[in-house]
Amino acid sequence: MPENDRLSGCLDEINLEFVEREATPRLLMKLSIQLHLAGLSLSNTVLFLEVFGVERVRSTVHNWVHKADLQPESGRSPNHVAVDETVIRLDGEQYWLYAAVDPKTNDLLHTQLEPTTNNALADRFFADLRDKHDMDDATVLVDGSASLQRACRKHDLDFRYERHGNRNSVERVFREIKRRTTSFSNCFSNAKAETADEWLRSFAFAWNQLIRTLRPRNIRLNQN
């Protein structure tokens, strides 16, 4: 498939139904959303628009991203799912990020941001994961987290303890999220948890789009 066809397919999945009155051409809006979620800062995204003679402030692009309400697609049937939790900081506060990744495709299946970690929150994470995807035949790869293992048992999920190997896929996602939340202070220095949670879902959409674009070119993300 030609490169421009792959990129056009990614843009087609960005819905701009929220737009009522906006002078910016829709193609540039979609490109801005995609570029920011792919790793471009808000400041540099604004500079990108200026190349085309469009002057917008960072908050405008930020609003485009959140109003687009991008979500990773549901209905997957993975064979294995790597699950983990990690700490990120938002506006000086500590939050726990739960994430599930398909190690075969590197797709990000589900995220959940919480102010703490406990058994009830782990239970809810797996309940939401099962609502979104067919987990009946999946093996969940977990580390030594007692709450994650307990939640797997509660939801009758087959799980296996694994510290490395296929679980590296979720660690790669965590590294990128931490890089983004640390580097892009104009996004996260004053971010509320709800806003960050929305961004994480949008990030999951963009991450999966990137993986899909790279996959036909046989680029293996686990070779780094």
pLDDT tens by residue, 109-118 = 999 999 999 9
Question: Taking the model in full, what pTM does it have?
Answer: 0.77
49 inside domain? yes
Q: Are residues 134 and 85 in the same domain?
A: yes
Burial class (CB in 10 A: 0-12, 13-18, 19+), 108: buried
Residue pair 124/187 in contact by the 8 Å Cβ criterion: no
> Rounded to 10 degrees, what is the CA torsion of 192, 114, 91, 16?
-40
Boundaries of domain holding 162? 80-191
Give Cα 177 to chain centroid, integer Å: 8
Any idea what the CATH number is for the domain that residue 89 is in? 3.30.420.10
Q: Are residues 128 and 161 in the same domain?
A: yes
- Phi/psi of residue 96, each to 5°? -105, 130
pLDDT tens by residue, 159-211 = 999 877 777 778 888 887 777 766 544 445 556 777 788 888 888 888 888 77
